[in-house]
Amino acid sequence: MNTDTEKLRRRLRMIRWMAMGCLGLTALVRLVAPWSDVLNGLLIGEVGGLGVVWSMTREGHLRDNLQGTALMLSGAIGYATRMVLLVAVIIIAIKLPHANVIAALAGYLLGFVFVVAGLSKSA
């Protein structure tokens, strides 16, 4: 019998695998396709997006039963981590000569898309 916690863990694993699969697919296409600037930026953003997926799906609250102030602190640390990742993705995309900054931001956004789409209710 499946409990809600087991269903949530299954969804979180699916989200992680989908994000890693998307990163792998982008890396594979990067080797073949001629749009190197856009794909370089997308690849940089997707690496940052993996950090987003990790910070939002690490399941810490399922294992340690955090409540109250500890849960608030954990959420604040996750938020700060995602902001640092966003700044790092932008700086890296700006500093590298052949990387599109807009594509990097789109790749970073994909991390959030995977989490929201993976956790949304399906009929």
pLDDT digits (tens, 9 = 90+) for 48-97: 999 888 888 776 666 666 666 666 777 788 889 899 999 999 999 999 98
pTM of the model: 0.82
Under the banding of pLDDT at 50, 70 and 90, the label for residue 6 is confident
What pLDDT score does 123 carry?
Answer: 39
Distance CA 123, CA 110 (A): 23
Q: What does DSSP assign to residue 68? A: H
